[in-house]
Each structure stands twice: as structure tokens, then as C-alpha cells.
Structure 1
Amino acid sequence: MEFYGDGGDPVDELVAVGAAPTQAGPGTPVIGAAEGGLVLPGDVEAVGRYLTAAKTESTRKAYDADFRAWSAWAQQRGFAPLPAADAAVATYLAALGDAGASPRTIARRLSGIGHAHREAGYPSPSEHPGTREVLRGVRRTAARDGRRPKKARALDTQTIRALVEDLPAGVAGLRDRALILTSFALGLRASEVCGLDVSDLSPSGHGGLDVTIRWSKTDQEGAGEVLALAPGVRARTCPVRALRAWVDAADLGGSGPLFRSVGRGARPRIGRTRMARSSVRLVLRRAAERAGVPLEGLSPHSLRRSFATEGYRAGVSERELARTGRWASMTTMRGYDSSSRWADPASARLGL
């Protein structure tokens, strides 16, 4: 059985046995009939559901946006977006580089183009040697020109305390406190903290909480991981107390999204849908402004980076840091550590 399309929408078309597959782009998946058998509408619906579930919503949206950008550029210049000529894609990458796009953005665009081609049953331009060489040249040029990827700024524990000490009273302040402290204490990505449900929290036998991360960037198939959230040594910055205070004040019960929107007024309305990742950035920046913390380099990823940096500084083993933070690469995790650079620099021992 052959699949065509990006799996972003239910499969709604069958190709007759022996017929050539129809051309498909993102959002128009097509399935070929099983050779020697009959594919029923119910089977097609089931396939569509699982194709949709194969990629996270954010991944599907990113692929779709990247393909739309490529398609618009290609059509303006008379190129076919799908299937695309390798030379056309290479020209597109070069144009993005000349326009100042970061190597990371260009690589992501190429991934989106490649994904659309693979799902439509065409060879991927992203695998062509010439295309890969252009991308390599973009990276080398950016490095030579001093254009490096911007990294989120790490915060020390004292600054994290300051962020939550000055939060406003009320339900919104309780939510923001719980969100910031939980993200920092477990090294959560914004997508992970926004994806938590109330039912993902359960009491442990150590005065803390077991927090289930049902899926993540490095766990796309949802095997899940249970993390230990230990109680803090200070009441005002204890993530366990903060979570319980928020759940109780918002009357969330035992199910549904953990972090939600909070309305204004004396009796603010608690939303039913989960917070968007962009809202985490707003929460963090508002807290920083109230605490007088500089905004430069501050992003939701700062909390994850801070977890690694402060964990190293506190002597937490790399094994435990990697297990809690769920880094697939130790090299990536070590790159987050900005605490040890001056712990014992080699240059200080040279007798200069």
C-alpha cells in the first residue's frame, strides 16, 4: 500500500488499482488501493487518522508553512514547486542566504520541501549533493561573517527567585509562578509545559510530584517519561507548592490542560484550552519587567538552559541532568552549561 501527501489531513481519495498516483502537495494526501484487494472508506479514514498522528501539530504546521513559502517563491519565478528541480531548490537556498536568513531557517525550509516531496512519492531535493553543498556553503559563510545562532540567555537561581517574587497577587500570578518554577526545575521546553494535563501530576512518596511528559521533541512517538519534581527548600519558590496552589485556586479538578488562560477582573475566568507556547514568552517577559531583569536574550528556552547551567553548578550528575532534561545528545546538553567556563580555566595555570 502506497501513501502520498503529507498526512496533514484525512485521506479522502483513492487511486484505482493500476492507475498512476495523482500529483499531491501538502494537505492533499492520497492513498493507492492495495494491490489485489479493496480499500474501503472506513479503512481510508483510519489511515488518515494515523497519518495525521505521525507528526505533531507543530511539526505539521512548520512543514506546511515552509512549503508555502517555497511554493510562492517558485511560482513567482516560473518554477514548479512539486516536483521541484534540484537546481531551482538550490537557487532558492542561495536567495535565502543572500537575504540574510539564518542557516537554521534555511535548513528548516529545505526539510519542509523534502518532506513534501517524500510524502508525494517524489525524490527529495534535500538529498541532492548539490543542494547539500549549497546549504554547507550558507553555514560556512554565516560563520565567516560572524553570524551565529542566537542562544537563549541562562539565568541563575537567584534571578529565577526574583522573577517569581514580584508576581502579582491573584490567580494569574499563581499560574505564572507555577509555570516558571516547574519549567526551570524540570528543564521543560515550552511545548512540554504547555502540553501538560492536570492528570499528568501525581503525588510521590517523597513529598513531591511525579510529572508525566507524554511526548516531547525527542519522544515523537509518545513513549512517555515520568520526572521527579522535588519540593523546594523555600516556600515561595517551591515548585510543588506552586503547582498545588495554582490547581486549587483555579479549581481545575483532576483533568484537562494544566496551564490555561486567565481572564481579568476581581473574579477572573479560567479558560478551558491550554496555553499557547507564545504565551509562555509573554509570561516570562512580564515577570522579568516587574523584577527588573534585562529582556535581552530572554526566551522560554532560557528556563531550560538555566536548568542545565544551574544543575552543573550545583554538582548534579550529567546522567541525571540528561535523564531529566531528556537530551538526546550529551554534546548539546554540555553546550548549555555556561557555569564551568571559569571554574578552572586552563589559561590561569600557565604562569603568565
Structure 2
Amino acid sequence: MESFQPDVARAVRVPREVVVRPGDGGLVLPGDVESVGRYLTAAKAESTRKAYEADFRAWSAWARQRGFDPLPAADAAVAAYLAALSDAGASPRTVARRLSGIGHAHREAGLPSPTEHPGTREVLRGIRRTAARGGRRPKKARAIDTQTVRALVEDLPDGVAGTRDRALILTSFALGLRASDACGLDVGDLAPAGHGGLDVTVRWSKTDQEGAGEVLALAPGTRAQTCPVRALQAWVEAAGLQGATGPLFRSVGRGAQPRIGRTRMARSSVRLVLRRAAEHAGVPLDGLSPHSLRRSFATEGYKAGVSERELARTGRWASVTTLRGYDASSRWAAPASGRLGL
């Protein structure tokens, strides 16, 4: 994929030490171009950049097969690509993501983005409406109740790996963490707080790419075996991470004295941990994913009467409307239709 940096280099002349942009009346040093490119790269999370690159590769392959230039892309070609994706069974979410990847490549190259063309947006809107009328709805992670979370962790093995998995599952549920949030935690992000709890600092998140950070209150549980604070303390001790720096959740080797990894767990490993725990506990796997723990946090919080303000603050939802979409609590808890005197 073309990047911003080569495009800048083409737009300027390089007479040895300096780059002169004709007509601007100024000088752009080669180091300036490098710095701009570095900060543009830092503006997007690595996972986002990789997703954009994969989406643009898919578009490029399709475009070349049809005889189109991938960059710059013709609006009609992009619209045809979106329609072809939908006809092939891609979900509206996948189609929209592919379009974002195409738009990102054009913006990096300093070109007008086809994603802004009215016709392209209309095609995408039509794909979404067609899918909705056909009964296709975005899949949501299955919410589970507190009792099921207890079942997931109560029968985990007593070894170091089981200790880590217990801490990971309980902490993710108790704080409504995304898989990326949990994997991004460092040992130094845990600090003793009042009432036997922990202050847990989430330094980066999907909705906090600039790293403003948020300190969350992790309260001790009422049951020793499912207390997230005790689970975290047990993991730190078992892994020998007291006073250490670096990632909190790490890989665990096999054997009588398993080796503790130095790098942080991948988000994909969280899915494996959860599914392994579910299989061991006899919990159905259908719809179960790491995001189930975050959705379960919202659902169980609503059922327990936790205020929306506190749920949104801990889960770091900017919109209460978005938070309510995570609530899977029973619609029969107190239905309005039963209070109308009919």
C-alpha cells in the first residue's frame, strides 16, 4: 500500500541536504518528512493499521482482477466492490470496514477518499437496509450471569496457568474490560486502595487512543474463590511478579515448574482461555467470547441496581445509549406494559 511518506517525497525536490517545496517559500528537511510519517503511524493503533492494510490488499486484488486501479480508485469501482462483497455474503459490518480501509489508504496518499462519495454511501446504506430486512442482525457476544462466571473459575486447575486464567476472567468481568484492556495492563498498574481493594489503571483503550488513562476501583469479592482482588494477588505471587515491571498477564509454559513469559498475552489468547474454562465447566460455547465478560458486566450491573453513571464510568462508555445496548437483562424484570392497568 502506498503511504503518506512516499507521496510527500514525490511532492518535493531533494537537492542533497534539504527538500524544497516549490511555491511554498520554505524548506522541508528530509528529517521532517520522516518525523511526519512517524507521527502519522503513531496516530493509529497497530491493530487498526494491520486491519486497514489487510482491507486494502483485499480491495487491490479485486480491483486488479477487474482491471481497475486500486489507487486512486474510481467511485463506481468501489461501489461495485461493496456490492460484490455483500452478494458474496459479507456482513454489513465487514463491508463498512473494507470501505474504511480503502479510505484510509487514499487519505495517506493525499488523495480524495471514495468513501465520501454520495453514491458510495448510498450503496452502503442500501446494503445495511437489505440485510436488516432479510432478518440479518449484528451478532452480539452472549451475556452470562454471575453464577456462570463463578462456574468458569471455580473448577480451574490449581497450577500457575489456572491461577492466571482465574485472575484474567474475574478482573475482566468485574471491571468490564475489553480483551485489549486486560492484555494491556502492566504489573505497575495495580495499586493497593482502601477497603482491601485495588486501584487498576487502564492506560490505553479502544476509546482512549491518546492514553489519557482511567483509574478503576476493583473491590474485593464476598467469596474467597471468586474475589478478583485475591485472584490478582495470587497470580502476581505465583508468577513471581512482585516488584516487577512489564505486562501483568503473560504466557505460562507447561511442566512442573512452568516458565513465565516476558511478553504480554495476545488478545486471541483471551478467547482461548475463556473457551477452555467453559469447556472444563460445561458452559455452552455458543456466542461466548471475551466480549461476553464486558457485556455481562453491564447486564449484571443493571440487575444489581448499579447506577448507569457508575457503569458507564467503570466500563468507559462515552454514551449511555451505547451502554444500554450491552444490557441483556430480562425485559420482563419490570415491563411497562404490565403497569398500564389493562
Q: Which range, TM-score by smaller chain?
A: over 0.9
Change (3 A) 1:156 1:6: farther
Contact 1:15 1:33 in 2 (8 A): no
> Which among 209, 222, 239 is matched to residue 250 of structure 1?
239
Q: In structure 1, list runs of 5 or more residues that go unmatched.
A: 20-30
**Structure 1 residue 221, shift from structure 2 partner:** 1.1
Q: How far, CA to CA, are the matches of 1:98 and 1:32 in structure 2?
A: 49
Q: How far, CA to CA, are the matches of 1:291 and 1:255 in structure 2?
A: 33
> Which among 79, 84, 109 is matched to residue 90 of structure 1?
79
**Structure 1 residue 43, shift from structure 2 partner:** 3.3
- Corresponding residue for residue 154 of structure 1: 143
> Which among 337, 344, 348 is matched to residue 327 of structure 2?
337
> Which among 154, 173, 176 is matched to residue 187 of structure 1?
176
> Which among 322, 334, 338 is matched to residue 312 of structure 2?
322
- Give the helix-richer structure, 1 or 2: 2
Contact 1:187 1:308 in 2 (8 A): yes
- Corresponding residue for residue 251 of structure 2: 261
**Structure 1 residue 5, shift from structure 2 partner:** 5.5
Moved more, 215-224 or 305-314: 215-224
- Corresponding residue for residue 159 of structure 2: 170
Moved more, 70-79 or 204-213: 204-213
Equivalence map 1:116-135=2 (5 Å): 116-135=105-124
Q: How far, CA to CA, are the matches of 2:125 and 2:223 in structure 1?
A: 49
Q: Which amino acid aligns with 2:291?
A: H
Q: How far, CA to CA, are the matches of 2:126 and 2:209 in structure 1?
A: 31
Moved more, 135-144 or 338-347: 338-347
Structure 1 vs Structure 2 CA RMSD: 2.1
**Structure 1 residue 118, shift from structure 2 partner:** 1.1
Q: Which amino acid aligns with 2:322?
A: T
Q: In structure 2, list runs of 5 or more residues that go unmatched.
A: 14-18
Contact 2:274 2:289 in 1 (8 A): yes
Q: Which amino acid aligns with 2:188?
A: S
Give the TM-score normalised by the residue count of structure 2.
0.93
2:126 equivalent to 1:137: yes
Q: Which amino acid aligns with 1:331?
A: T
Change (3 A) 1:267 1:32: farther
**Structure 1 residue 351, shift from structure 2 partner:** 6.4
Q: How far, CA to CA, are the matches of 2:117 and 2:28 in structure 1?
A: 35
Contact 1:12 1:44 in 2 (8 A): no
- Corresponding residue for residue 55 of structure 1: 44
3-state SS, counterpart of residue 221 of structure 2: coil
> Which among 9, 28, 33 is matched to residue 15 of structure 1?
9
How many residue pairs are counted as aligned between the two chains?
336
Contact 1:82 1:117 in 2 (8 A): yes
